[in-house]
Amino acid sequence: MSAPENPVAAIEEGLAALGSQYRDTFDESADEQTLRDAYAKILGKKKGALTRVLALMRHVPGEERAPVGAKVNTFKQEVEKAFEGRLAAIANEQRQADLQARPFDLTLPGRLALGRGHLHPVMQTRDDLLDIFRDLGFSVVPGPEVELEENNFTKLAFPPDHPATDMQDTFWVDTFGPKNEPLGGSVLLRTHTSNTQIRVMSERRPPMAVVSAGAVYRRDDDLTHSPMFHQIEGFLVDENVSMGDLKGVLTAFAEALYGKGIPLRLRPSYFPFVEPGAEVDIGCVFCSEEDGTRESCKVCKQTGWVEVLGCGMIHPEVFESCGIDPERYTGYAFGFGIERIAMLRYGIPSIKLLFDNDPRFLAQF
Ligand code: DAH
C-alpha cells in the first residue's frame, strides 16, 4: 500500500467507517455463530478490517503514534464490549424463546422403552423351591452369611482337621478386638446353609420343620463351581422321624419339580452331621426324553442319574450341641445347591453365565 498523505487522518477515517459498520452487523446477528463471524471480520487477527487500518501505522511519524495507538485501543475495547453485550443478549433471547416454546413435560414417559426387570433366574428358582417346601408344611427362616466357626463346623460335628473341612475350603473373616487386636480365625463366610440347623435347633424346641435359603462361599472357581453360590437347607425334628419320612418328602419335592413318577434314589454317603448320610440322585430329565439310549447326554454323563442333594438323619451329637435330647427326638436334614437345580431346569451349561450378569442372557428367563 502506498503511503497516504496524511496517515493519521486515514486511520481515523478508517476507524470511523468501521465504527458505524460493526454496531449494525452485531445488532443484526441473530445467533452466536453469525455474531462471531461478524466479530472476526472486524477484529480478526489475519483478515480483520482493523488489521488493514493498522497497516497504516507504520506511516505514522514516531511522535504521533502514541495518541493514535490509544484511539485504536479504545476502539478495540468498544468493539469487544459491544460483542460481549450482544453475545449475552443472544443467549438471553435464546433462553426466552426456549421458555416460551412448548413447555417440556417432565412427567411424560421416556421415548426409549426400558424393559421391565425381573428376578434373577437363581432367585426365581429359589422362590419356586421354597414354595414347594412351604406347601409341604415347612416354615422359611433366614440365616447369616457371616458366621461363627462353631455354627458352620464345630457344632455340626465336623471333627477338627477332618478332611471334610478341606472339602469346603473356607473364606475366613479377620476380626479385631476393642484395641484393634486381631482375634484370630473363628469367623468365616458360611460354606453351606447347614449353619441354620444349629441356629434354629438351639432356639426352638421340636417339633419343627424348617427350610432356609441363601448365599454360601467357598474357595472354588471353575465351570461348575463359583466362589459364591446359593443353597437351600431343610430339616425336620420330631419324635419317631425315620429315613422313610425323608425319602417321602424328597420324592414329593422331586415330583413337584419334575413331574409325577420321576425316579429318585438314595446312595450312602458321608457328611459329619448326619448318620446315616446319603446323596440323592434323580432320573435324568434330559436324556430320558430323547431316544432312551442316553448316548448323547452330557448332563448325566450317560448314567441316567443326576446328583442333586445331600441328606441324612441328624447326628445325635448335633442334637446335643443344640440342647435337644437325642434319645427322645430324631430328625432328618438335607441341603442342595440352587444354581445346580436352575442349570438343570433351564439347560444352562456353565454356572458362570448365571453370575456374568449379561442382560442378553438374563433376559431369556
Ligand atoms: N451341607 C452340605 C454341603 O454343603 C449339604 C448337606 C448334606 C446338607 C447333607 C445336609 C445334609 O443337611 O444332611 O455339601
Can you give the CATH number for the domain in which 173 is found? 3.30.930.10
Judge whether residue 166 has pLDDT over 70. Answer: no
Q: What is the mean pLDDT of the chain?
A: 89
- Confidence class of residue 258 from pLDDT cuts 50, 70 and 90? confident
Per-residue pLDDT at 310? 98
- Confidence class of residue 290 from pLDDT cuts 50, 70 and 90? low
The H or E element containing residue 330 is strand 330-337
Give yes or no for a cis peptide into 4 (omega within 30° of 0). Answer: no
- Confidence class of residue 100 from pLDDT cuts 50, 70 and 90? confident
Whether the CB of 253 sits within 6 Å of ligand 1: no
Whether residues 277 and 144 fall in one domain? yes
Whether residues 214 and 332 fall in one domain? yes
Q: Which residues on neighbouring strands pair with residue 203, listed in sequence order?
A: none
Whether residues 215 and 295 fall in one domain? yes
Whole-number Å distance, alpha carbon 336 to ligand 1 midpoint, is: 7
Judge whether residue 165 has pLDDT over 80. Answer: no
> Is the model more confident about 187 or about 46?
187
Q: Which of 61-75, 91-105, 214-228, 301-315 has the highest mean pLDDT?
A: 301-315
- Answer with the one of 66, 100, 134 that is the final residue of a domain: 100
Region of poorest pLDDT, from 42-51, 285-294, 339-348 = 285-294
Closest atom, ligand 1, to C-alpha of 234: 12
Whole-number Å distance, alpha carbon 278 to ligand 1 midpoint, is: 9
Residue 178 within any structural domain of the chain:
yes
The whole-number average pLDDT for the span 81-102 is: 90
Task: Return the percentage of the chain with pLDDT > 70, whole number.
Answer: 95
Residue 114 within any structural domain of the chain:
no
Judge whether residue 291 has pLDDT over 90. Answer: no
What is the domain extent for residue 312? 121-362
Whether residues 55 and 189 fall in one domain? no
Whether the CB of 35 sits within 6 Å of ligand 1: no
Whether residues 167 and 44 fall in one domain? no
- Answer with the one of 42, 69, 100 that is the final residue of a domain: 100
Which residue intervals of 174-306 are DSSP H helices? 195-203, 243-258
Residue 105 within any structural domain of the chain:
no
Atom 7 of ligand 1: nearest residue by CA position? 310
The DSSP output letter for 6 is -
How many angstroms from the chain centroid is the CA of residue 274?
A: 37
Helix (H, G, I), strand (E, B) or coil at 33: helix
For the chain, what's the residue count? 365
Per-residue pLDDT at 111? 83
Whether residues 273 and 332 fall in one domain? yes
User: Can you give the C-alpha Rg of the chain in angstroms?
Assistant: 41
Closest atom, ligand 1, to C-alpha of 167: 14
Per-residue pLDDT at 264? 95
Whether residues 202 and 248 fall in one domain? yes
Judge whether residue 45 has pLDDT over 70. Answer: yes
- Answer with the one of 65, 100, 135 that is the final residue of a domain: 100
Whole-number Å distance, alpha carbon 194 to ligand 1 midpoint, is: 6
Whether residues 94 and 131 fall in one domain? no
Residue 106 within any structural domain of the chain:
no
Domain count, the chain: 2
Whether residues 219 and 314 fall in one domain? yes
pTM (global) more than 0.75: no
- Confidence class of residue 43 from pLDDT cuts 50, 70 and 90? confident
Residue 108 within any structural domain of the chain:
no
Q: Which of 22-26, 165-169, 213-217 has the highest mean pLDDT?
A: 213-217
Whether residues 125 and 261 fall in one domain? yes
Residue whose C-alpha is closest to residue 168's, from 135, 186, 201, 191: 191
pLDDT in tens, 322-353: 999 999 999 999 999 999 999 888 888 888 89
Residue 40 within any structural domain of the chain:
yes
Whole-number Å distance, alpha carbon 312 to ligand 1 midpoint, is: 8
Judge whether residue 118 has pLDDT over 90. Answer: yes
Residue 116 within any structural domain of the chain:
no
Whether residues 87 and 185 fall in one domain? no
Whether residues 239 and 168 fall in one domain? yes
Residue 211 within any structural domain of the chain:
yes
Whether the CB of 201 sits within 6 Å of ligand 1: no
pLDDT in tens, 177-190: 889 888 766 899 99
Per-residue pLDDT at 185? 62
